[in-house]
């Protein structure tokens, strides 16, 4: 969630700011706090949170002090947004200078213009709010101010420790580089007694349910002298990177096939082939890399990362070692470090003979293109790119031969009933589009309609909203022209939806094909301390037996804060009514995950007082959660900061 914002610094002494009427907002002879009305401050706070907080932090302390890296600015080598509450203005301190700077922006420092988005009066209210933040007691660092909390959750969620993941983070004494372990995906083996768990840093573990014994099954990190498989593997901290995902083929119990998704740095010297001899039972004699799937780029641009999907066939699935073959299914180029290909999943309602049997749905972020100015901004809208989309492919060449075509790289098939196969110039793999970062997908199968799977996307927002979408064939979810139930301008400003709520069907940067009405979220929460968080985690519709209170509820969380909510799935489905303002009500569960994670982090040797990382809403320390479910529908929460997996026990 990044938004280029002001490069100004607010004075700690009182100053005179002219608003639209020409009347001073502050008088230089009086303390500013005595002239700031509650109405002005409330309006300024609201405007600041929408327009500025994503870069400058919730208390105007600047991105560096907030512990956040702003993708656009870092990528282009610009200066990080500074503290707005210190003692000097960087771009003039007179009234006309302040107004002109905010209105016209600072292009060299990547601050967009606010002219046309905020009135002079509104700019004055924002500055008044920033001034109010300097009233903290002397010596109070901006980064330690308490973030406001929301209303107390109605119900309590009891969780219990399930397993500690091995420490894979860098625990060197001279720096704190991240979480203890980066557990991301937990999946129950079909028909078995084992759980498979991924760590973004490279390991794929098998967990024996009875003994709680973890065994390293495959290790993807083969960089340098490390004993893993892939020499160009990267799990760089600060971004979604590493061993991203793992999923079983729907027929795994018979064929032993599963799929993995990992990230590589194409600029690392050497070959992309996996290392021979690392896994004694792995036969690489037939393994070859693929031509990377292309995406339109601006001239002279380079690709930052490759996303790689690999098909594995384990011929002896009953043990804890791999014996079999591997095949690269696809390699996709990413133009930036952010919002990569993140999710691979199969429809659990499909059966042999169905059109969806063994058909893979792929959640692919926009690679950070939607928040940057210039020709790449519309990639999530363009049908000639893969980014910001849900893709639908058949990963094995042996399936659905009569109703599909072979892909460009010759390694997978494309279903003939995908919605854009007849659109000239469109990527035939596209199922739905206009999403910023649908980093997790989940299926809901209504017991009354067991053959109809409903696909849900958990989509990370940019400016104001985190959203849950019902994914439909051919649907356009609006980004970067829409977010939540609002419109978004070219400079990422938020506003009301237009009366004629349609957007062009953008085939390429120059070709359009009519218009389409955007599809909107069925559940959402804002980027505010009282009611929301920083970035939506994944979730599941609870189908277990342990917690009757959650039956039929969609349970999901916020990554950084660790907050957990539920919504009645009937209300989620009902919110899919073509009215952008209809959203399922959310109910928060208090699981005390931050407190639990902080205690465990310190107990396990974490080198600082707080959890690693930071968020605009979370403040210091990211709980960093992901949810998981087992074959019985029971739920788990993985917390990266302390490297733990906990199971849901009860709701009171």
Segment 393-423, tens digit of pLDDT: 999 999 999 999 999 999 999 999 999 999 9
| 9 pLDDT tier (thresholds 50, 70, 90) | very low
Q: How many CB atoms neighbour CB 284 within 10 A?
A: 16
Where do we find the tokens 């010297």? 269
Express each pLDDT in 248-299 by its tens digit: 999 999 999 999 999 999 999 999 999 999 999 999 999 999 999 987 776 6
Token representation of residue 332: 């996709």
| Euclidean distance between CA atoms 650 and 652, whole angstroms | 7
Residues linked to residue 195 through DSSP beta bridges, in sequence order: 188, 207
Output the pLDDT for position 50: 65
Predicted TM-score of the model (pTM): 0.82
SS3 574: helix
Q: What is residue 543's three-state secondary structure?
A: coil
Q: How confident is the model at residue 76 (pLDDT cuts 50, 70, 90)?
A: very low
What is the mean predicted confidence (pLDDT) over 190-201? 92
Residue 343, token pair as written in the block: 């999710």
Instruction: List pLDDT tens digits, range 475-499.
Output: 999 999 999 999 999 888 899 999 9
Q: Is the pLDDT of residue 374 over 90?
A: no
pLDDT at residue 66 tops 50:
no
- Residue 246 reports pLDDT greater than 80: yes
Of 181, 209, 176, nearest to 193 (Cα)? 209
Contact 220, 229 (CB under 8 A): yes
DSSP 600-621: HHHHTT-SSSS-S-EETTTEES
What's phi and psi for 512, nearest 5 deg? -120, 160
User: Which three-class secondary structure state does DSSP give residue 571?
Assistant: helix
Q: Residue 68: what pLDDT?
A: 44
CA dihedral 124, 127, 133, 138 (to 10 degrees): -110
Cα–Cα distance for residue pair 536/366, rounded to 1 Å: 16
Q: Which residues of 352-381 are buried (b: 16+ CB within 10 A; e: fewer)?
A: eeeebbbbbbbbbbbbbbbbbeeebbbbbb
User: Please, what is the average pLDDT of the chain?
Assistant: 85
pLDDT for position 21:
32
* CA 407/CA 433 separation, integer angstroms: 19
- pLDDT class of 109 with cuts at 50, 70, 90: low
Closest by Cα among 50, 26, 51, 61 to 40 = 26
What is the DSSP-derived secondary structure letter of residue 7? -
Check residue 212 and give its pLDDT: 92
* DSSP single-letter state for residue 386: -
Quick check: 135 and 36 in contact, CB under 8 A? no
Alpha carbon of residue 137 to chain centroid? 36
Give every CB contact of residue 285 below 8 A, 6+ residues apart in sequence: none
User: Residue 112's pLDDT is what?
Assistant: 66
Higher pLDDT, 91 or 411: 411
What is the 3 state secondary structure string of 109-149? HCECCCECCECHHHHHHHHHHHHHHHHCCCCCCHHHCCCCC
Q: pLDDT band at 47, cuts 50/70/90?
A: confident
Q: Is 50 helix (H, G, I), strand (E, B) or coil?
A: helix
The three-state (H, E, C) secondary structure of 213-226, written as one string: CEEEEEECECCCCC
Residue 147 has pLDDT above 60, yes or no: no
**Contact partners, residue 85, CB within 8 Å, separation at least 6:** 9, 10, 12, 59, 60, 61, 130, 133, 134, 142
For residue 6, what pLDDT band results from cuts at 50, 70 and 90? very low
């Amino acid at each position: 969630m990044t938004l280029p914002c002001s490069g100004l610094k607010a004075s700690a002494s009182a100053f005179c700011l002219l608003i639209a009427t020409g009347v001073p907002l502050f008088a230089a002879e009086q303390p500013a706090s005595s002239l700031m009305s509650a109405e002005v401050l409330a309006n300024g706070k609201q405007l600041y949170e929408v327009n500025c907080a994503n870069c400058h932090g919730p208390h105007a302390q600047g991105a560096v002090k907030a512990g956040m890296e702003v993708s656009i600015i870092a990528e282009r080598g610009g200066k990080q947004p500074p503290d707005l509450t210190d003692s000097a203005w960087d771009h003039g301190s007179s009234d006309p200078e302040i107004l002109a700077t905010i209105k016209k922006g600072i292009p060299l420092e990547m601050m967009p213009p606010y002219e046309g988005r905020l009135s002079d009066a509104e700019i004055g209210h924002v500055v008044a709010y920033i001034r109010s933040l300097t009233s903290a007691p002397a010596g109070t660092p901006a980064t330690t101010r308490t973030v406001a909390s929301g209303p107390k959750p109605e119900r309590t969620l009891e969780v219990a420790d399930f397993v500690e993941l091995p420490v894979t983070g860098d625990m060197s004494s001279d720096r704190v580089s991240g979480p203890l372990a980066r557990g991301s995906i937990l999946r129950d083996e079909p028909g078995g007694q084992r759980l498979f768990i991924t760590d973004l840093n490279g390991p794929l573990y098998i967990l024996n349910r009875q003994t709680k014994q973890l065994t390293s099954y495959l290790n993807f990190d083969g960089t340098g002298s490390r004993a893993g498989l892939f020499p160009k593997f990267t799990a760089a901290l600060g971004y979604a990177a590493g061993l991203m995902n793992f999923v079983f083929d729907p027929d795994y119990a018979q064929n032993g096939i599963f799929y993995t998704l990992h990230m590589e740095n194409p600029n690392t010297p050497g070959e992309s082939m996996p290392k021979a001899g690392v896994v004694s039972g792995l036969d690489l004699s037939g393994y070859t890399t693929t031509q990377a799937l292309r995406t339109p780029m601006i001239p002279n641009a380079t690709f930052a990362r490759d996303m790689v999907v690999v098909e594995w066939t384990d011929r002896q699935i009953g043990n804890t070692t791999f014996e079999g073959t591997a095949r690269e299914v696809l390699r996709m180029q990413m133009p930036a470090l952010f919002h990569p290909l993140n999710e691979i999943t199969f429809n659990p309602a499909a059966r042999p003979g169905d059109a969806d049997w063994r058909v893979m749905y792929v959640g692919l972020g926009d690679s950070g293109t939607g928040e940057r100015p210039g020709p790449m901004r519309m990639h999530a809208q363009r049908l000639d790119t893969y980014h910001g989309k849900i893709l639908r492919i058949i990963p094995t060449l042996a399936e659905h031969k009569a109703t599909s075509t072979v892909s460009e790289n010759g390694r997978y098939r494309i279903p003939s009933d995908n919605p854009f196969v007849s659109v000239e110039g469109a990527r035939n793999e596209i199922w739905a589009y206009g999403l910023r970062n649908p980093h997790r997908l989940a299926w809901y199968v209504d017991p009354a309609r067991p053959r109809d799977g409903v696909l849900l996307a958990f989509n990370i927002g940019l400016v104001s909203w985190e959203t849950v979408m019902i994914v439909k064939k051919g649907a356009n979810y609006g980004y970067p022209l829409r977010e939540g139930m609002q419109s978004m301008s070219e400079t990422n400003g938020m506003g009301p939806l237009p009366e004629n709520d349609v957007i062009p069907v953008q085939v390429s940067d120059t070709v359009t094909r009519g218009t389409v009405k955007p599809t909107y979220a069925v559940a959402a929460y804002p980027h505010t301390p009282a009611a929301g968080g920083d970035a939506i985690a994944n979730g599941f519709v609870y189908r277990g037996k342990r917690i009757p209170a959650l039956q039929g509820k969609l349970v999901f969380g916020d990554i950084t804060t660790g907050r957990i909510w539920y919504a009645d799935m009937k209300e989620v489905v009902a919110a899919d009514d073509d009215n952008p303002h209809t959203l399922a009500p959310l109910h928060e569960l208090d699981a005390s995950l931050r407190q639990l994670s902080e205690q465990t982090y310190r107990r396990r040797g974490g080198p600082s007082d707080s959890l690693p990382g930071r968020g605009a809403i979370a403040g210091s320390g990211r709980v960093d959660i992901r949810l998981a479910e087992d074959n019985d529908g029971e739920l788990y929460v993985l917390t990266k900061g302390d490297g733990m997996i906990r199971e849901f026990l009860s709701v009171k």
